[in-house]
């Protein structure tokens, strides 16, 4: 009787460490989603990031103010990349990063890429001309809301 009680005690205390079957990855994605990581994730939206460094304190930076004016000037053209485009602005006051991220559905990315990510060339040329702006770069990445 004592050994049965001991077994019951051990069994109930170790059940928390028993392996649990993991559910397979399921996420509501469009039918044209591209799988990544052995199917553990996928994407159906692609982002074009424009980034640079600015100078000065984020609250009083003249270069950041000029970047803001440039974004305002080009925002309608940027959003024209796709009727479903989203544009995000990221500013880091500690490392002086400015990023503008335009995300479009996968099916709209190809035509936008073929156009040179319009108005990218013109925007970046003006961005580089702003005093205090440096390290102007671009990157294409996936960008999914999860």
Which helix (H) or strand (E) covers residue 121, if one does? Answer: helix 120-128
The model's confidence at residue 2, banded by pLDDT at 50, 70 and 90, is low
Contact (Cβ atoms closer than 8 angstroms) between residue 4 and residue 11: no
β-strands 134-142, 97-105 pairing: unpaired
Give the integer Cα–Cα distance in Å for 125 and 127: 5
Give the integer Cα–Cα distance in Å for 21 and 23: 6
- The answer to whether the pTM exceeds 0.85 is no
Name the maximum alpha-carbon separation found in the chain.
86
pLDDT tens per residue across span 60-76: 999 999 999 999 999 99
């Amino acid at each position: 009787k004592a050994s049965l009680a001991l077994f019951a005690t051990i069994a109930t205390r170790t059940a928390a460490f028993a392996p649990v079957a993991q559910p397979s990855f399921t996420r509501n994605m469009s039918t044209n989603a591209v799988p990544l990581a052995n199917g553990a994730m996928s994407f159906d939206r692609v982002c074009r990031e424009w980034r640079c460094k600015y100078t000065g304190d984020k609250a009083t930076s003249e270069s950041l103010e000029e970047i803001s004016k440039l974004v305002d000037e080009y925002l309608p053209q940027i959003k024209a990349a796709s009727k479903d485009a989203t544009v995000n602005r990221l500013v880091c006051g500690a490392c002086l990063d400015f990023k503008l991220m335009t995300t479009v559905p996968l099916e709209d990315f190809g035509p936008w890429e073929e156009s040179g990510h319009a108005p990218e060339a013109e925007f970046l040329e003006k961005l580089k001309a702003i005093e205090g702006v440096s390290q102007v770069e671009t990157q294409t990445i996936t960008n999914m809301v999860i």
